[in-house]
Amino acid sequence: MAKKKSMIELHRVGVEEYKKASKLPVTVVLDNVRSEMNVGSVFRTADAFLIERICLCGITPQPPKSEIHKTALGAEDSVAWQYYPTTIAAIEQLKNQGYTICSIEQVHDSISLEQFVVNQGQKMAIVLGNEVNGVSQEVVDASDLCVEIPQHGTKHSLNISCCAAIVMWHVYQSVK
């Protein structure tokens, strides 16, 4: 029977060492996400895949919040983040810094996740939307492209934290 690895065997780094580590040139943008627990989950996943930062926009909760901490398990301290009053403000700044803006949304002419390729060194901003309304149309319009996760069940969407994990893993796999 397999034995669980100890914390020493997992070779985890501390917060300060993590902050100094080389990151993927990927920023996750949260467009008016309501749930502190979803935000915390995105922080934890961003930590796992060396995402450089998270932009918290509009009504998206910001650390320190107990529900963020409960799901982030401290990743809100390791992953850099910034707050923007609007998602458009974040996108404008990211575009000026040379980022490609990619909204994860079901739109006409979207790219299926399997076809989505991020090149080594490419600056990419991944926009994830509100739990009910998704990425706003204004933000979709300002995006360079939209990617859709194929789904075949009765529901038309995934929870934002699940969506974030799938997309971050895909991006990590394509550039590592």
Q: With both helix axes pointing from N to C terminus, report the angle between 160-175 and 36-48 in degrees, rounded to the nearest 10.
A: 10
pLDDT for 176 beyond 80: no
Predicted pLDDT at 55: 99
Q: How far apart are CA 35 and CA 164, in angstroms?
A: 14
Mean pLDDT score, 88-107? 98
Cα atoms in the 13 Å half-sphere on the side-chain side of 119: 3
Q: How far apart are CA 71 and CA 56, in angstroms?
A: 16
Domains of the chain with CATH codes: 22-175 (3.40.1280.10)
pLDDT for 22 beyond 90: yes
pLDDT tens-digit series, residues 59-90:
999 999 999 999 999 999 999 999 999 999 99
Long-range contacts of 147-150 (CB under 8 A, 24+ apart): 147/102, 147/103, 147/104, 147/105, 147/110, 147/111, 147/112, 147/113, 147/116, 148/104, 148/105, 148/106, 148/107, 148/110, 148/111, 148/112, 148/113, 149/104, 149/113, 150/112, 150/113, 150/114
134 DSSP 8-state letter: B
Predicted pLDDT at 156: 87
pTM of the prediction?
Answer: 0.96
Q: How far apart are CA 109 and CA 146, in angstroms?
A: 8
The average confidence (pLDDT) of the chain is: 96
